[in-house]
A and B are shown apart, each in its own frame.
Chain A
């Protein structure tokens, strides 16, 4: 019999309950309010008093209302049919909810139990299997969705029977497995997993090294992220965090994209709802929505389920990784999740850490980021979760707990900067402060030498040096005046501007410029570096600016034209003529 209790106290969404039996930390409970049942999670237990965070508004809740404990933690339901759905933070299918407004206490089953899937067995009778072993697969939006031995099952089992190739519903039995004692377990296509626990069914988690192409030049060329890597994008409001995240999720070379819209604007989620069913995946030509799952907990939806939403998204990501797929997960924004933690910690009257955030904030962030990664599965296949989170630092100040905590955990740092955004240099990623730790990995260097060219890494480093030098020179020009420095200084500065305008800046709203495949990035970087290596002759600094503005203009026109099209080649020839004008012989 499950534990029951009665409401004793209410402060906003923190409810104190007196219980009549055992209760575990993070257990799920339902509070009865009239005909509605409100979902809640156990935060703290002291004797008979249990503190619950309610995932809904507690308006009208009274002392004495009944509470029922469910004897399980917050879980997600995993099975075929997750793709292209829009869930809330507790995995309710938003499309199944009727009515324009979200009614509290309305929950639904996240999958379709009536749909038939064509199942193909992989395992055979007599095979030894364990948690995560592939028993068979169904085709889910052209992805091989593996049906696995449930992750919760411990030990080694033997397949006793498995159904033949055919059409089955998710709750149909597809296999029977037996343990060492001969106990039988019936397996269907659905399993559940508690969201706060990582799914650990891989043998090894090596350092990631494979470039994850995003089509965004400032990432791929300058600060590459890798399959299974982690990155974060901090930035004050208005610097283009969300535009950048959307660009990555549209273009990245991933099999599955999972977007957790956590405590952000509803209209931004609507943009994904509208665009993704229309847009094509640049790598497969199919609709983007087919490979995408959206977990939407917008800022006006219940605060408590914000935390749940990022964990729900991560658990689903781990589920797809276990199938040997490349998953890209985006969370916008992790600061909102941290704020939700702060609100609850405050109501529980815990002693606050910096900026009133809970003391263990950076540990929570680090644990979460560590769930991403590139893994070898037990059958030798590989899978990956690349995770990119955004951070919304209060007042744009990067020395605040969420940014600092994340900086320790994530390996790529894409620092969005107000000054660049004000000058409309988008994406407003600061080229000097941002970094990718992966570029230093020997594994990555080896990989990229084969994928692009052996000189690639040194060329990227040289580009960064020129940018750095350009910045220093600019400061000197500002202090000494245009004519107070040698003409060479102006040339150095303008070479760095060519890199900035042609490589770093990118028009996310232009059809062609928004996506740059890596081959094209290589071509443009070669071209720009060739300009940087050229020695030019000028009589005065005035000529320098005019001349380089013409170069930038032509190169930008190239960025706007189809790669290697007639127009593109025409601009390239024009560029050669301009370069010849001033080239030192």
Chain B
């Protein structure tokens, strides 16, 4: 806190060379938030106000580069030349949005068949820290047909950072990638700038260049934790789970940048929210779930020994816009029937565990569930959507009678195997 006049709200400043931002003004008293932390700042520190909000220089030179939270290159390359834009800019007028309608194929049936992704969508992985979400996300990013991939890494371990770097490098797509990275070695408050930096770059490519941009944000839980640190220091009254009362709005401002523009450009956001012990009622996943258009859950299926995309808890809200329209007509009904039968299998399993006898139907659902997990839900599957539907019909035909699957008769007649 210091005395100063003529200072603008949210303006940047340096305190003994450390970057800071104005967060509160009361008369001549100005409160600054120092991103790197205040260690070693003396009471007579020199403060220089920069007269601008945090910004990023945007141009095609961003492609293939790695930056820190302030948009400064960390790959040893030169500074980027380009137009300077304030980060965290205004929102898109809802009437100027286009309804998302383009399917993003990932080859993973747990996603494409049950939780189809659409460009302009925002969706997180809800996963425990030990699950392979970064690998799945990298796979999705590489298989999806997009013009640019923007990685926003918050509190990424150095190992994960290098993993992304290697995967992108080995796939030979480095020229399509822009990365903004804050690792666990950097101060936590700095990572508050990462999503806005990544999305400012994304808006440049999507609006100015009409490109399809995929933004990867990992891990949003680290971001929310940093928000909590700041609000705590500002003496704000915490709401649920020690999170600031504005958590919903703060997260929404980021996720709502996902958009389909009428001119063809789009921003799709795939994020990661790590959970603690699978608890989705915690304020961070809970608020996220209300903002994003669905969520993807990973889970290890002990029956087949593979990680699967959980069909019960995962959801893509925008799938209705493409399934059965951009994919084959039977997609919606097949998807629902298979999930319903998988649920019946779960019931049968409970019965089995409780020591009850199984009916013939129960046995068949269990056999089906095993096939379904192995050949469709597992994250190592890589086939196109029509093939997924054919595989599903085969399984239905193998284990069930047409009357047991509750599918419209005309579809059964056409596709039953």
Contacts and interface: CB of A to CB of B under 8 A. Distances in A.
Interface of A: 8-11, 16, 57-64, 86, 94-95, 97, 99-104, 236-238, 263, 265-267, 269-271, 273-274, 296, 298-301, 303, 336, 339-340, 342-343, 346, 352, 355-356, 392, 394-397, 422-424, 478, 481-483, 509, 542, 545-546, 549-550, 552-553, 556-557, 560
A530 B175 CA distance: 68
Interface in B50-69: 53
Chain B CB within 10 Å, residue with most, of A11, A273, A352? A11
B240 A394 contact: yes
B294 A95 contact: no
Given A16-B26, A102-B93, A296-B94, A60 B53 contact: yes
Contacts of A300: 91, 252-253, 256-257
Given A346-B236, A346-B245, 4 more contacts: A8-B26, A94-B93, A478-B354, A560-B408
A265 B289 contact: no
B172 to A, nearest CB: 33
A215 B256 CA distance: 32
B281 A102 contact: no
A60 B359 contact: no
Interface in B322-351: 332, 336, 339-340, 343, 350-351
Contacts of B91: 101-102, 266, 298, 300-301
Which 4 residue pairs spanning A and B have beta carbons closest together? A395-B281, A300-B256, A299-B252, A237-B289
Nearest to B239: A356
Nearest to B287: A394
A58 B99 contact: no
A267 B91 CA distance: 13
Contact of B26 (A9, A478, A560): A9
A471 B281 CA distance: 26
A97 B356 CA distance: 65
B51 to A, nearest CB: 9
Interface of B: 5-11, 23-28, 53, 86, 89-100, 120-121, 207, 236-240, 245-246, 248-249, 252-253, 256-257, 259, 261, 280-283, 286-287, 289-291, 293-295, 312-313, 315, 317-318, 320, 332, 336, 339-340, 343, 350-351, 354, 356-357, 359-361, 403-404, 406, 408-409
B8 A59 contact: yes
8 contacts: A58-B9, A59-B53, A237-B289, A270-B94, A300-B91, A395-B283, A396-B286, A509-B320
Contacts of A9: 24-27
Contact of B93 (A101, A271, A342): A101
B96 to A, nearest CB: 5
Contacts of A238: 289, 294-295, 315, 317
A504 B262 CA distance: 39
A549 B359 contact: no
A336 B248 contact: yes
Nearest to B289: A237
Given A58-B9, A62-B6, A100-B207, A392 B290 contact: yes
Contact of B24 (A11, A237, A299): A11
A267 B293 contact: yes
Contacts of B408: 557, 560
A423 B332 CA distance: 15
B246 A266 contact: no
Nearest to A241: B290
A103 B95 CA distance: 14
B90 A104 contact: yes
A556 B8 CA distance: 63
Contacts of A301: 91
B237 A356 contact: yes
Given A101-B89, A266-B92, A298-B256, A59 B238 contact: no
Nearest to B359: A542
B403 A422 contact: no
A265 B239 contact: no
Contacts of A60: 8-11, 53
B356 A102 contact: no
A61 B7 CA distance: 8
B336 A103 contact: no
Chain B CB within 10 Å, residue with most, of A58, A236, A265, A478? A265
A97 B361 CA distance: 60
B94 A62 contact: no
Contact of B95 (A63, A237, A273): A273
B362 to A, nearest CB: 9
Contacts of B239: 342, 355-356
A377 to B, nearest CB: 34
Contact of A100 (B92, B280, B409): B92
